[in-house]
A and B are shown apart, each in its own frame.
Chain A
C-alpha cells in the first residue's frame, strides 16, 4: 500500500517569511496529491491539490510542486500570516481510491 512521509513535524517562522513542507510517497500509481489544513479542534480542509499531469500549481500565497520521478511533493506558503498557524497534512492517492495522509506539520507563525 501507499506510504506517505512528511517533514518537518514542526515549523516555526516569522510573519512574512516563507514556509516549506515536504512529503514523499511510495506508490507510483498515486496521481492525486492534496494538502489539508487543520486548525485546533476543527475539521481538515482542503487548501490546494495537484494531479500528476502537472508539476506546479499556485493559488495566491500557496503553491504546490510535484516531482513524480522522485516521488515527492512540497507545499510552499509565502508571506506567512498568523492565521496560517495550523497543522498541515499532505496526502496521496490514486483514481477512485482512498487517500493516505502524512503525519502532519505544525506550523507556527510568530509576530
Chain B
C-alpha cells in the first residue's frame, strides 16, 4: 500500500475486555515497530519485529500485551483484560531495512478504556 495502515482508528473498550489492533506496513518493509503514545507525550517503544522475528519486546508494559507478525507482513497488537491506564494512541511504524532509518508511521489506533 501507499502508507502504513492501522485499524481500527478508534476503539472503545470496557475495562476487562480484550482488544486487537492491526497494522499493515508498507509493502516490502522489513522492520515493524509498535509505539504507545499517551496524551501529550512522545511515542514510547513497545516492541520491534524484523520480518516475522520479534527481536525486542522490552517495552511491553505487562504480560497482558502481546504482539505478533506471523508472516512478516501484517502485525497485530493484542491487549488482554484492558485497564484504564491502557488508554492511549497505539502507533505502528515500519522501515525499509533492518537498520535504523526513517520510521513511517500509521495514523494510529486510539484506544479508550472505560
A residues within 8 Å of B by Cβ?
Answer: 1, 6, 31-32, 34, 36, 42-46, 49, 89, 91, 93-104
Contact = CB atoms under 8 A, between A and B. Distances in A.
B56 interface: yes
B62 interface: no
B45 A99 contact: yes
B40 interface: yes
B43 A32 contact: no
Given A32-B100, A96-B99, 12 more contacts: A1-B58, A36-B103, A42-B107, A43-B108, A44-B103, A89-B42, A89-B43, A95-B99, A97-B56, A99-B103, A104-B41, A104-B42
A44 B48 contact: no
Nearest to A2: B45
A46 B99 CA distance: 16
Interface residues of B, number: 25
A95 B100 contact: yes
Contacts of A95: 99-100
A96 B98 contact: yes
A43 B107 contact: yes
B90 interface: no
A45 B99 CA distance: 18
B106 interface: yes
A95 B105 CA distance: 19
A42 B58 CA distance: 26
A53 to B, nearest CB: 13
Q: Which of A46, A91, A98 has the most CB of B within 10 A?
A: A98
